[in-house]
Amino acid sequence: MDQIVDSATGARAFQTMVAMRDGTRLNTFVFLPPADHRSANSIGARAERGGGPRFPVILHRTPYGIAAADARDKFDCTHAWLPNPAEPMRGSILRGWRAIVDHGYAAVYQDCRGRHGSEGEDRVYADDAADGHDTLEWIAAQPWSNQRVGMSGSSAGATTAFAAASTRHPTLRAFFAQAGASSIYDDVVYEGQSIEMERLWLWVAKNIPGLSASHRASVMQRFGIGGAELDAAAERAAARYSRLDAARSAEPPFVASPDWMHLPLAGYPDFATWQPFLDEIITHPAPDAFRARHNFRATIDIPGFHVTTWYDIFQTSVIAAFQDIQARTGTQKLWIGPNEHYFVYAENFWPSDPYFEWFDHWLKDGRLKDRPSRLVDEQAVFYSPRAWVADRALYRPDDWRHAERWPPPGVTPQRLYLRGDGSLDDGSLVDGGPGGPPRDYIYDPRRPVPTLGGRNMLIEPGPVDQRPAQAVPDYGLIYRGEKLREAMTIAGNVRVTLAVQSDCPDTDFAAKLIELLPDGRAMLLMDGVVRAMYRDPAAGPQKLEAGRVYRVTIDLGDIHHIFQSGSRIEVDVTSSNFPRRARNTNSGNPVLARDTEAAIRIAANTVHHAAATPSFIELPVLPEGG
């Protein structure tokens, strides 16, 4: 039965359990504009005979809960989640039901499977494509729906939107996805085929409290344990999370923490009890059918609005979604702002709010046929030229730039060679270019290089001084260019290609792009990794042979950054970046997640520099004024 939830506007709401194809029911809230709202039945749809008005719909599916903190229970739609008026852009659910209804849409909220008020077991996006499709099918059959649906969400909510869009349900006409994964495994869990430990471990731990009663029952049955034992595991997991988080304050951070250094990763204490799917997530080291099922962007063919930041953990996945889908449809938009994952929730991140203009165009095109959309007509890419702003409160997004594509027109690649004397050279000098003897370093997985900055989720993100990391034993190799005589802008994807060898059957090679400032600070701009045994992921595991030189390419992601005059470009090569990425034990075992301490080998790793085996970084240089 509808309930009036907003007496000022007459908006109505009800809660229901929507059945999926396997009979699992998902907790769902529906919010409807008043029957006399100006948008009712005006978008090319008509009311059924004897029925009420029909509206376009915006759907949100989230693992973070659809009921507000003050709700009487998880099914109380009269106290549904809404953004704090002081932070209207924050939340996995974008803009909130009240604003959505006020704009003439029906708003639908849904708890994902196994989360909060929904039945079933949470399997971390494995069911979100099918569940999203089934929810769209249910919406299409409702008397209040005109069968024009949009989906939106942020972070995990963006990933569920990508998942549903991948099924090509005919009622889904457009989506708005910010700071979320379009291919959860290839881009986010296994960046460079190395397990992205920080984002995965801390996210799983933080989300244990949101697992539903049905998920809890499933876990108890699976492990043959009782409620008291499961509750004790939750308490231990919370304590473990606190210790993991506190390890950032150590000197050096993380690497002396027994909780971070614990092996094996599979069956991780308490986390894997509450979230058994964690072991599934970390045991697919190369592209396979399981990972392909989670490449949601591969089949999306509807208009999409993509938002990310330069230091967002999902940056590479958002840009890849824009590039892939834009090539098929020509109907995508991409906005990239400064700072880390969470800055998208700040009001001053946004040059303007495109949300309702986007959906009005695609879901209410009958109303807008005589009123062109500025947003839809402008160039596809809108980005901040500043990758990081230190003073968030005073930031003003008044310098963003438009481009017809990413990277912007005018970018040209510039190759800088890593040389045996530790220098970087563009090859313009007579004796420049590749050259010099190989350089060696030791990688001991028991003494990893600590993570300092970068595209992190809960560890400090951004451009952090690398000198403390460079001071640890067996850090790796450092290459530095000459002082820049004038500023240099880069805009686009950055890759490092190395000619390497190792005396172990497997190891990681990690690369960092750094701006060495005149005052001595070594500020991280971006970093990447490749697991050497999976240097060609499609070919499967290929162990390294001692004494043989291999070519590996490391993707550092994308950026727009201006190197200042007087700075020096620096490239660092290491074999760990922990706990951003799980340690490679160097064992040669395909599934590193099952390796114990006994599997650890110490690697002697080498980078070559000769003309026949060059190592280099390729920078996307944008001319001044470009």
For 180-241, give the DSSP string.
--SBIIIIIITGGGS--HHHHHHHHHHTGGGB-HHHHHHHHHHHT--HHHHHHHHHHHHHHH
pLDDT over 60 (residue 47): no
> Cα–Cα distance between 9 and 280 in angstroms, integer?
47
DSSP 170: T
Are 96 and 62 within 8 A, CB to CB? no
pLDDT of residue 432: 79
pLDDT over 90 (residue 341): yes
Specify the range with the lowest mean pLDDT, choosing from 31-40, 137-146, 462-471, 568-577: 31-40
- Work out the angle at residue 102's Cα, subtended by the Cα atoms of residues 97 and 107, and round it to the nearest 5 degrees: 35
CA dihedral 520, 522, 525, 528 (to 10 degrees): 160
Are 607 and 496 within 8 A, CB to CB? no
SS3 163: helix
Q: Return the structure tokens found at 527.
A: 């970093």
Contacts for 242 with CB less than 8 Å, ≥ 6 apart: none
Domain 3-183+295-403 belongs to what topology?
Answer: Rossmann fold (3.40.50)
pLDDT of residue 49: 42
pLDDT of residue 39: 60
Task: Give the residue from 548, 162, 478 showing the smallest Cα distance to 324.
Answer: 162
- The residue-averaged pLDDT of 266-286 equals 95
539 burial via Cβ count (<10 Å: 0-12, 13-18, 19+):
exposed
Dihedral of CA 542/547/552/554: which sign? positive
> Cα–Cα distance between 361 and 368 in angstroms, integer?
7
b/e per residue, 261-294, with b = 16+ CB within 10 A?
A: bebbbbebebbbbbbbbbbebbbbbbbeeebeeb
Cα–Cα distance list, 266 to 159, 269, 589, 592, 626 (Å): 24, 9, 14, 9, 48
252 preceded by cis ω (within 30°)?
yes
372 burial via Cβ count (<10 Å: 0-12, 13-18, 19+):
exposed
Specify the range with the lowest mean pLDDT, choosing from 7-16, 285-294, 330-339: 7-16
pLDDT over 90 (residue 16): yes
Is residue 428 very low, low, confident or very high in pLDDT (cuts 50, 70, 90)? low
Task: Give the residue from 358, 441, 433 showing the smallest Cα distance to 616.
Answer: 433
pLDDT over 80 (residue 45): no
Dihedral of CA 396/402/405/406: which sign? negative
Contacts for 377 with CB less than 8 Å, ≥ 6 apart: none
> Cα–Cα distance between 609 and 616 in angstroms, integer?
9
pLDDT of residue 291: 94
Residue 360 is inside which H or E element, if any? helix 355-363
DSSP 272: H
> Cα–Cα distance between 71 and 81 in angstroms, integer?
9
pLDDT of residue 156: 96
Over the stretch 571-621, which tens digit does the pLDDT of each residue have?
999 999 999 999 999 999 999 999 999 999 999 999 999 999 999 999 999
Specify the range with the lowest mean pLDDT, choosing from 103-107, 202-206, 312-316, 498-502: 202-206
Between strands 381-383 and 332-340, the pairing is parallel
> Cα–Cα distance between 609 and 148 in angstroms, integer?
58
| DSSP per residue, 132-153 | HHHHHHHHHTSTTEEEEEEEEE
pLDDT of residue 6: 79
Q: Return the structure tokens found at 150.
A: 């949009």
pLDDT over 50 (residue 177): yes
Would you give the distance in Å from CA 58 to the centre of its chain? 22
Task: Give the residue from 559, 544, 457 showing the smallest Cα distance to 507.
Answer: 544
- Work out the angle at residue 36's Cα, subtended by the Cα atoms of residues 31 and 41, and round it to the nearest 5 degrees: 80
DSSP 179: S
Are 116 and 29 within 8 A, CB to CB? no
Is residue 626 very low, low, confident or very high in pLDDT (cuts 50, 70, 90)? low
Over the stretch 438-496, which tens digit does the pLDDT of each residue have?
999 999 999 999 999 999 998 999 999 999 999 999 999 999 999 999 999 999 999 99
CATH architecture classification, 412-622: Sandwich (2.60)
**Within 13 A of 409's CA, how many CA atoms are on the CB side?**
5
- Which of 488 and 429 is assigned the larger pLDDT? 488
pLDDT over 80 (residue 287): yes
- The residue-averaged pLDDT of 272-280 equals 94
pLDDT over 80 (residue 368): no
pLDDT over 70 (residue 41): no
Contacts for 436 with CB less than 8 Å, ≥ 6 apart: 419, 420, 421, 609, 610
pLDDT over 60 (residue 401): yes
pLDDT of residue 426: 81
pLDDT of residue 52: 76
pLDDT over 90 (residue 35): no
Between strands 424-425 and 3-6, the pairing is unpaired
| DSSP per residue, 524-577 | EEEEEEEEGGGSSGGG---PPPTT--EEEEEEEEEEEEEEPTT-EEEEEEES--
- The residue-averaged pLDDT of 405-427 equals 95
pTM of the complete model: 0.95
Per-domain residue ranges for the chain?
3-183+295-403, 189-290, 412-622
Are 150 and 59 within 8 A, CB to CB? yes
Is residue 9 very low, low, confident or very high in pLDDT (cuts 50, 70, 90)? confident
Over the stretch 196-252, which tens digit does the pLDDT of each residue have?
999 899 899 999 999 999 999 999 999 999 999 999 999 999 999 999 999 999 999
| DSSP per residue, 309-355 | EEE-TTHHHHHHHHHHHHHHHS-EEEEEEEEEGGGGGSGGG-SS--H
b/e per residue, 10-47, with b = 16+ CB within 10 A?
A: ebbbebeebebeeebbbbbbbbbbeeebebbebbebee
- Which of 407 and 368 is assigned the larger pLDDT? 407
- The residue-averaged pLDDT of 286-309 equals 96
- The residue-averaged pLDDT of 411-429 equals 91
Average pLDDT of the chain to the nearest whole number: 94
**Among residues of the chain, what percentage have pLDDT more than 90?**
91
Are 103 and 360 within 8 A, CB to CB? yes
